[in-house]
Structure 1
Amino acid sequence: MNSESQIQLRETALITGAASGIGYELMQIFAQNKYNLVLVDRNQQKLSEMAEELPKKFGILVKVIVKDLSIPFAAKEIFAELNESLTKIDVLVNNAGFGNYGLFNETDLNAELEMMQVNMVCTTHLTKLFLKGMVERGKGKILNVASTAAFQPGPLMAVYFATKAYIFSFSQAIANELEGTGITVTVLCPGPTASAFHHRTGMSDSKLLKTKNMMDARTVAEIGYRGLMTNKATVIPGLQNQILAEVVRFIPRNLLTKIVRTTQEVKD
């Protein structure tokens, strides 16, 4: 078997939101581990750069799909394109997501509907479509990126926190359903992570981010990758985040919500 045939036989990982942040770092880690890649993002320039750089650097196959995942039929189009090219997905990484910041009564409805589409609906749709093939083959892995935001209500980011709670619950449920099938589902729940996310949401001046030493995206991605490869159902990077995820279960809900509100407010 020649080297080109060997490359084609390698497992393939599909990563959404691959152009920046945790998704970008996950892309690099999968490439270093010799996975062929399908990279999905709406940043065409960044994807084009990766499509040129990664095969030369790592000797892998890279396919890019420029797609806005806030469009309702995006997941179906991605699946159809990969089916047409006979591209089998062995690892699905649902990383794409975004948030917004402010009082729910004042934030933009269209932005929140798009957020729900990207964070929840597209994640669910892609999982539904690619999971069937994994079950038929008796092998596969899914990594869904949630957040420590999943563990409590989030005043000033009400919709974002709710979408992450959905991803967490959804991932744990299907992980249970898939036990014994050869397919594993891992949900990654990072705390605040150093990336452009906070600047885009407008919360970079909040008390939470001004007082917290944030983990970098590479470290989060490495921990998430190891958790995925060791079949962990839930991965929470950082001891402090792990402790907080447990502690919030014992705080009365009204009090917890008030505490989160205080940390989310802009620091004077």
Structure 2
Amino acid sequence: MPEAMRLVTWNINSLRLRLPLLEKLTTHLLPDVVCLQETKVPDPLFPAEALRELGYEHLHYRGMKGYNGVAILSRHPLEPLPDMPDWCDKEDCRHVAAMVHTPQGSVEVHDFYIPAGGDEPDPDINPKFAHKLAFVDEITDWFSARSSARTVLVGDLNIAPLEHDVWSHKQLLKIVSHTPPETQRLGRLLDTGFVDAMRHFVPPEEKLYTWWSYRNRDWQKSDRGRRLDHIWVTPDLVPELSGMMVIREARDWASPSDHVPVMLDLSPP
């Protein structure tokens, strides 16, 4: 029987800076596929050789200098999806997609880094927030117009949609990442044909976070987190959902990202 496919998504906040942390993650979890966001490295400087030494022989990435950037690292063959949209006509390296050809069947993987949106949740005065809303709208329209099967959507979606995806629903309702214009849009995107795989394992009434601000001196004590990182699957993959873990301890690793990795296992039924 084919083994489970283990997938990890992680906003690594600079791939080259945190290569040792990726090595640590690889040693601990032995993932088959790793989807990274905020790699912050232009394609000519992408550390492909170092990643292949970690066992990720198949790579698909888009990057730019200093910010953004996404990458799919895989032990299994990758087939990049052709003709992916240029969201909001910005060419800002926020999406890569590929077919991952695994022993138990091929899976379509989309890796997104949705814009953070700045500080002011008003699209009329904050172009960054307007860009974020338009970005989610475009993704939603695109997925609505296609039929998705055996598809996984992951990434730093920069929105904590549910009440218990933030440390204080009441206090964060007017804070970018948890405002109604964002959470409602993310709900519409989910409704294009996906299941929230993390909440498949952790009920909505339980707290679930993947991000803790660098401003929190003692992040564990205050635990003022948000669930900004997500893994969604199409309904045909739900029977294969066999495990999920938020790697909270990664927030205490040396020079950590402010996001922690999220792991999902898919096993053939």
Larger strand proportion of the pair? 2
Larger helix proportion of the pair? 1
Structure of larger gyration radius? 1
Give the structure-1-normalised TM-score: 0.44
